[in-house]
Amino acid sequence: MKRLLKKFKDDESGLTLIIVMMFLFLLTILGMTMYFMSSADVNISRNIFRGARSFYAAEAGISEAIARLNLSTSDPKYDVAMYDSAPFDINWSYNLSSAPEFTGELDSGDTYEVQIEHRTIDHDDDPTTDDVVVTYDKGYFPSITYPAAGEGYAVERITSTGYSSDGETVVVMEISKIPMDVQVEGAVTANSDVNLTGNINIDGHDHDMEGNLGGAGNDSTGVKTTTGNTVTSGGSASVSGDPATDNTLDPNTYPNSPEEVLGLSGAAAGDYLDAANVDYYGPYDGSIGMNSGSALEGITYITGDYPGPKENGSGILIIHNPNFDPCRYEASTSADPTHPCWDTDWENPADTYYYLGANKYHDDATVQPAKLGNYTSTATFKGLIIADFVEKIAGTPTIIGAIVSLSSFDVQHYGTGNADILYSSEALNNFASMGFATKISWHKQ
């Protein structure tokens, strides 16, 4: 018996083989499991990537449509068929593939197709009557209303289909393009005394886009200011219009911000002046206009002092410090409830800018007005310039459109050179038509 047990103990080759085979089998199972898991991950990643590529292509189509709908009528790329004006044609639609300079292909080779049409609805549940075009409320509220013909703004349904090498995605967005309601009273609209020097010429008679007299015949004031302010001329400066000067604007209703000049409020202001919707947004750093040699276009928003564009430009130029509050900056240093900016909260000495005494607001560098100063170019700018404060328009520039200044403190000096400021309702209307889309809904099919 002992000899037999010793034989089994010494002869373990069969058991070792069994153990090795079992270990190899387990390794095979584990390897196959990892392989299938890896293949599944690859397929999931491929599907996600496929969806992402076609999705991004569809989103590019949405961006293309919005950009074209937002073009000004004076933009050379503008296609009048891209936007239907009131009374809206219920059958209006537009295929972007027929638009000028259509770019429906991305660098990756992916493509998109875009269709634009009015959103319509059967407003009375009567199949025998025509549907109506859904319009966006004039008050810019996020609710859809159905006003009478000619009111509101048409809701556009943009359907963009993105195609990649192995898939497609459809994105639908509804927007409404709301034009601006520019508050301009003349070639120059100011809330302060205006001093004209040099050979500057300010003409409130209507001009066309090329600066020729006549235009649409909507003559305006040369320089219009608020009650109590004056316009003085020195040197060979001249001002003309219908009338040449006027100081009857109500200081209580004078706009205190670029948004108010453009007739915007609330969320709509953000849609227009948000950093993503302008050609430039930030303090002047020499990257545009004066030093870059590039022309200004669209809406250019400068948050600090700006010397003025050196090259020809067009659109809307805003020089405004968002921290500048004309009311607080210009508040009376005495208790004056009749002051346009009077606010009883400011009577509290705990207020940082308590102004019953010296106005501490003037000592805060972060809230100073942004200045349009030393505009020394020979360029022609067409459109609207809005500035906190105007300080010297020198050189020989031509501004076709209008200038609006916001601040009421001190005297604003318009001109030490041979500038021409020519009122043009055509220029203002063209660039006021450069609306920005109010996004109403978005979904992926």
> For the stretch 321-355, what's the b/e string if a residue is b when 16 or more beta carbons lie within 10 angstroms of its beta carbon?
beebbbebbbbbeeeeeebbbeeeebeeeeeebbb
The per-residue pLDDT for range 351-408, each reduced to its tens digit, is 554 444 445 566 677 878 888 887 767 889 999 999 998 888 878 889 999 999 998 8
pLDDT at 435: 64
What's the pLDDT score for residue 143? 40
d(C-alpha 427, C-alpha 383), whole Å: 5
For all residues of the chain together, what is the average pLDDT? Answer: 76
pLDDT band at 65 (very low <50, low <70, confident <90, very high): confident
Is 419 or 414 the better-scoring residue by pLDDT? 419
* Residue 164: predicted pLDDT: 86
Asked whether residue 24 carries a pLDDT value surpassing 90, the answer given is no
Query: Residue 277: its pLDDT value, please?
Result: 59
Give the pLDDT of residue 323.
Answer: 82
Greater confidence, 17 or 60?
Answer: 60
pLDDT score recorded for residue 141: 35
pLDDT for the residue numbered 309: 73
38 or 400, which is more confident: 400
Average pLDDT rounded to a whole number, residues 232-255: 89
More confident residue, 252 or 248: 248
pLDDT of residue 181: 77
The pTM (predicted TM-score) of the whole model is 0.70
pLDDT score, position 138: 47
CA distances from 384 to 262, 299, 348 (A): 10, 10, 39
* Residues 6+ positions from 207 with CB-CB distance below 8 Å: 213, 214, 215, 400, 422, 423, 424, 426, 427
| Confidence category of residue 73, pLDDT binned at 50, 70, 90 | low
pLDDT of 9 above 60: no
**Please, which pLDDT band fits residue 151 given cuts at 50, 70 and 90?**
low
Residue 385: per-residue pLDDT = 93
Q: What is the pLDDT of residue 356?
A: 45
- Report the distance separating Cα 163 and Cα 18, nearest Å: 56
Span 10-38, mean pLDDT? 70
**pLDDT tens-digit series, residues 179-215:** 777 889 999 999 988 988 888 999 999 999 999 998 8
Q: Is 80 exceeded by the pLDDT of residue 100?
A: no
Amino acid at 1: M
Residue 392 pLDDT: 81
Give the CA distances from residue 273 to residues 156, 266, 293, 302, 348, in Å, rounded to whole numbers and listed in that order: 21, 11, 24, 11, 33
Q: To the nearest whole percent, how much of the chain has pLDDT over 90? A: 17
Q: What is the mean pLDDT of residues 418-433?
A: 87
For residue range 158-178, list pLDDT tens digits in order: 999 988 887 889 999 998 877
- Long-range contacts for 321-325 (Cβ within 8 Å, ≥24 apart)? 321/367, 321/368, 321/369, 321/370, 321/388, 323/366, 323/367, 324/367, 324/368, 324/369, 324/370, 324/388, 324/406, 324/407, 325/256, 325/361, 325/367
pLDDT of residue 211: 93
Tell me: the pLDDT tens digits for 299-336? 888 888 888 777 788 888 999 988 887 766 665 444 55
pLDDT at site 221: 95
Question: Whole-angstrom Cα distance, residue 424 to residue 384?
Answer: 10
Q: Where are the domains of the chain?
A: 80-178, 186-324+368-432
Adjacent-strand bridge partners of 136: 144, 153
Each residue of 101-122: pLDDT tens digit?
Answer: 555 667 678 888 898 988 888 7
What are the φ/ψ torsions at residue 18 (nearest 5 degrees)? -65, -45
